[in-house]
């Protein structure tokens, strides 16, 4: 009943998007350098001129649904230039850089700051909440923008990035972010860098900053709508029928992503069981029966279902490079929760959440709120309203980019101030920017990469094998041939369909190229093999789509 009255009140009298703040020692009136900087330079968070929430979106559910379902294709138009690289295990990652004029390597000193952005589950650089920030950040200062460079790190398989390894992504895996940062600090060695993570990307960024402490090129981090405790967030989505809708939508989106890349993932026999359980179809060749669901299985189609059967296997590296596989969804949720690493964060860190977020509600933040009291680098700012990645104001305009821009500007300004000593306290805490390049921690060696058309992959699911037609997809994929890690490499020649089908198309002859691998000496799973732009890996699907909201360039 109270929620009904609250909704009616918000309809009649839209509430202001005011924020409450929590940080170490706040109850005792202790000072905090990060919060002091927010007070001084982030008026949209602490001032009296915050906008009112949208009258047409008076609840967290409506804000969340509108964020996910509304058409933002003509809003916040962005141009990116895509860089694609392989990782030491053969995976493919694409980073989209805006504006394109700032996408080429810079060796000389430069004064353009860089913001590294991580998207949410199954998202990418095209997402409206990403473009909302990027469009404002890259706009020149004389046009009312920030004048930043933005780099969106697209997770494996997302934003039309091909899958070429038996791994996707998860909240537990920070290696792909580290590989991207190794590339970016090579391309822009003098650029100041900060990080932003949305939703799942926020959980990844939190885990990374907690595990690496001062050993990071990032001066600061901002996470928006991040699920710090995955088990609690999962339970929230399964506790009420309306919340359960989100679990099914997110699970369906993740299954759709898996289906898109099933042909590639099935090249790894270790993933036959997870894929067969996820899709209910037999993938393995021969007479052996397909894997069946376990007793007391999570409800098919929910996010927990996909996490339980697939993400626990595909979300990251196995030993000695990582902690996968996990026994079940709960083990993954507990192991990947970023509250486990909060005490290690050593750079200014701002967490933005809305109390009425149906995916990460206020009570799902209890452990995070307790843990942040032990670390004065963390400030938690939460508004009563805003939903999940919403914060829509009058005329349904998304507003959250304003306080994020103010905070990022404050960080960059503090670090470049003449009297900044980069001490271990204050807004510039964490010491000088660190990267493997600065400590002579990068090795290089030649590796071989085979270039093949996408049509070299055969359909993995029997429902797709019944009518095999000539694939008209002429896009290219790069497959690592030189084994770098103690992990089996994938290749289209290993498709299970080649043993299961009676008429098998011949494997096209690929071109072998020798490229350079740059690899972190202390973390061999971290590294990059930059692919030539003319190969246009991960671009053709965008080129053939009629997209209004952004443009990708080679």
Tens of pLDDT, residue by residue over 17-55, are 999 999 998 877 778 889 998 999 999 999 777 899 998
pLDDT digits 0-9 by tens, 200-247: 999 999 999 999 999 999 999 999 999 999 999 999 998 877 778 999
- Provide the residue ranges of all domains of the chain, joining segments of one domain with +: 68-233+337-439, 262-334, 440-546
Tokens of 374: 């032990």
Query: Which candidate, 124, 461, 119, places its Cα nearest to that of 259?
Result: 461
Quickly state the pLDDT bin for 546 (edges 50, 70, 90).
Answer: very low
Q: What is the mean pLDDT of residues 163-186?
A: 97
Mean pLDDT of 370-397: 95
Indicate the pTM of the whole model.
0.94
Fold classification of 68-233+337-439 is: Rossmann fold (3.40.50)
Binned at pLDDT 50, 70 and 90, residue 6 comes out as low
Q: Angle formed by the axes of helices 241-260 and 60-69, to 10°?
A: 20
How many C-alpha atoms does 517 have within 13 Å on its Cβ side?
25
DSSP state, 514?
Answer: E
Burial class of 395 by CB neighbour count within 10 A (0 to 12, 13 to 18, 19+): exposed
pLDDT at 451: 97
CB 301 within 8 A of CB 191: no
Give the model's pLDDT for residue 430. 46
Count of CB atoms within 10 A of residue 250's CB? 23
Q: Tell whether omega for the bond before 325 is within 30 degrees of 0, i.e. cis.
A: yes
H/E run at residue 519: strand 511-520
Give the confidence band of 551 by pLDDT, cuts at 50, 70, 90.
low
Is the predicted pLDDT of residue 196 greater than 80, yes or no?
yes
Could you tell me which residues are beta bridge partners of residue 514? 448
CA distance 349 to 210: 10
Q: Report the percentage of the chain scoring pLDDT > 90.
A: 75
**Displacement of CA 334 from its chain's centroid (Å):** 19
Segment 515-534 mean pLDDT: 97
Residue 166 has pLDDT above 60, yes or no: yes
What is the full DSSP assignment across 389-411?
TT-BBGGG-B-THHHHHHHHHHH
Quickly count: other Cβ atoms within 10 Å of residue 227's Cβ.
32
- What does the CA dihedral 151, 157, 162, 166 come to, rounded to 10 degrees? 120
Q: Looking at residue 338, what is its pLDDT?
A: 95
- HEC secondary structure over 3-64: HHHHHHHHHHCCCECCEEEEECCHHHCCCCHHHHHHHHHCHHHHCCCCCEECCCCCCHHHHH
Please report, for residues 492, 505, 526, the alpha-carbon distance to residue 455 in angstroms, rounded to integers and kept in the order given.
9, 10, 29
The confidence band for 548, taking pLDDT boundaries of 50, 70 and 90, is very low
What pLDDT does residue 554 have? 52
Model confidence band, residue 187 (pLDDT cutoffs 50, 70, 90): very high
pLDDT of residue 25: 83
- What single-letter DSSP state applies at residue 441? -
What b/e sequence results for 43-69 when a residue is b if at least 16 CB atoms lie within 10 Å of its CB, and e otherwise? ebbbeeebbebbeebbbbbbbbbbbbe
The pLDDT value given to residue 184:
96
pLDDT, position 473: 67
Residue 328 has pLDDT above 80, yes or no: yes
Predicted confidence (pLDDT) at residue 91 exceeds the cutoff of 90: yes
The angle formed by the CA atoms of residues 16, 18 and 22, to the nearest 5 degrees, is 165
Q: Are strands 527-530 and 349-354 parallel, antiparallel or unpaired?
A: unpaired
Q: Which residues pair with 221 in a beta bridge?
A: 195, 349
Higher-scoring residue by pLDDT: 540, 532? 532
CA distance 553 to 104: 12
Give the model's confidence band at 285: pLDDT under 50 very low, under 70 low, under 90 confident, else very high.
Answer: confident
Which of 44-53, 137-146, 253-262 has the weakest average pLDDT? 44-53
DSSP character string of 486-513 = SSPPP-GGG-THHHH-SS-PPPPPPEEE
> Which residues are registered as beta bridge partners of 96?
82, 152
Query: Tokens representing 92?
Result: 């493919």
- Segment among 127-141, 253-267, 332-346, 470-484 with least mean pLDDT: 470-484
The band of 550, judged by pLDDT with boundaries at 50, 70 and 90, is low
Q: Which of 206-220, 239-253, 339-353, 538-552 has the weakest average pLDDT?
A: 538-552
Report the C-alpha gap between 544 and 554 in whole angstroms: 14
The CA distance from 250 to 301, in Å, is 9
Separation CA 370–CA 454 (nearest Å): 49
Count, residues in the chain: 554
Expressed in angstroms, the distance from the first to the final Cα of the chain is: 55
In the predicted model, what is the mean pLDDT of the chain? 90
Decide the pairing of beta strands 527-530 and 114-118: unpaired
SS3 for 81? strand
pLDDT at 175: 98
How far apart CA 116 and CA 456 sit, in angstroms, is 34
Predicted local confidence at residue 5, as pLDDT: 47
**Tokens 């997402």 sit on residue:** 127
What is the full DSSP assignment across 98-114? ESGGG-S---S-----E
Mean pLDDT of 54-71: 94
């Amino acid at each position: 009943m109270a929620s009904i009255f609250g909704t009616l009140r918000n309809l009649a009298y839209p509430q202001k998007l005011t924020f409450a703040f929590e940080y170490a020692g706040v109850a005792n009136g202790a000072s905090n350098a990060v919060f002091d900087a927010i007070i001084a330079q982030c008026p949209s968070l602490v001032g009296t001129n915050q906008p009112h929430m949208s009258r047409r979106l008076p609840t967290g559910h409506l804000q969340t649904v509108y964020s996910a379902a509304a058409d933002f294709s003509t809003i916040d138009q962005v141009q990116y230039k895509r860089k694609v690289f392989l990782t030491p295990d053969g995976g493919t990652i694409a980073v989209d850089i805006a504006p394109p004029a700032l996408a080429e390597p810079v060796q000389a000193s430069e004064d353009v700051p860089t913001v590294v952005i991580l998207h949410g589950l199954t998202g990418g650089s095209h997402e409206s909440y990403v473009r909302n920030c990027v469009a404002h950040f890259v706009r020149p200062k004389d046009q009312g923008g920030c004048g930043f460079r933005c780099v969106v790190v697209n997770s494996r398989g997302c934003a039309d990035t091909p899958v070429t390894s038996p791994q996707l992504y998860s909240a537990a895996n920070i290696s792909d972010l580290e590989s991207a940062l190794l590339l970016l600090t090579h391309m822009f060695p003098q650029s100041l860098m900060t990080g932003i993570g949305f939703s799942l990307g926020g959980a990844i960024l939190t885990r990374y900053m907690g595990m690496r402490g001062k050993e990071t090129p990032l001066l600061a981090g901002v996470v928006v709508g991040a699920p710090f405790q995955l088990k609690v967030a999962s339970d929230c989505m399964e506790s009420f029928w309306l919340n359960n809708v989100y679990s099914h939508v997110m699970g369906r989106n993740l299954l759709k992503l898996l289906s898109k890349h099933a042909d590639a993932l099935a090249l790894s026999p270790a993933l036959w069981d997870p894929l067969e359980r996820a899709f209910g179809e037999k993938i393995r060749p021969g007479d052996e029966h397909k894997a069946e669901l376990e007793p007391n299985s999570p409800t098919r189609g929910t996010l927990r279902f996909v996490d339980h059967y697939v993400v626990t296997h595909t979300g990251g590296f196995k030993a000695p490079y990582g902690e996968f596989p996990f026994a079940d969804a709960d083990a993954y949720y507990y192991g990947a929760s970023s509250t486990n690493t909060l005490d290690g964060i050593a750079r200014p860190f701002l967490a933005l959440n809305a109390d009425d977020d149906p995916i990460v509600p206020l009570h799902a933040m209890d452990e995070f709120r307790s843990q942040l009291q032990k670390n004065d680098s963390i400030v938690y700012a939460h508004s009563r309203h805003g939903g999940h990645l919403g914060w829509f104001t009058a005329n349904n305009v998304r507003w959250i980019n304003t306080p994020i821009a103010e905070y990022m500007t404050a960080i960059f300004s503090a670090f470049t101030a003449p009297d900044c000593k980069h001490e271990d306290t204050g807004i510039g805490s964490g010491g000088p920017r660190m990267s493997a390049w600065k400590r002579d921690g990068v090795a290089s060696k030649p590796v071989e990469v085979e270039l093949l058309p996408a049509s070299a992959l055969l359909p993995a699911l029997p429902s797709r094998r019944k009518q095999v037609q000539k694939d008209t997809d002429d896009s290219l994929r790069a497959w690592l041939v030189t084994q770098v890690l103690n992990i089996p490499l994938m290749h289209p020649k290993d498709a299970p369909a080649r043993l299961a089908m009676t008429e098998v198309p011949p494997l096209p002859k690929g071109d072998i190229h020798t490229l350079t691998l740059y690899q972190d000496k202390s973390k061999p799973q971290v590294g990059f093999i930059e692919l030539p732009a003319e190969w246009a890996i991960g671009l053709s699907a965008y080129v053939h789509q009629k997209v209004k909201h952004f443009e990708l360039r080679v």
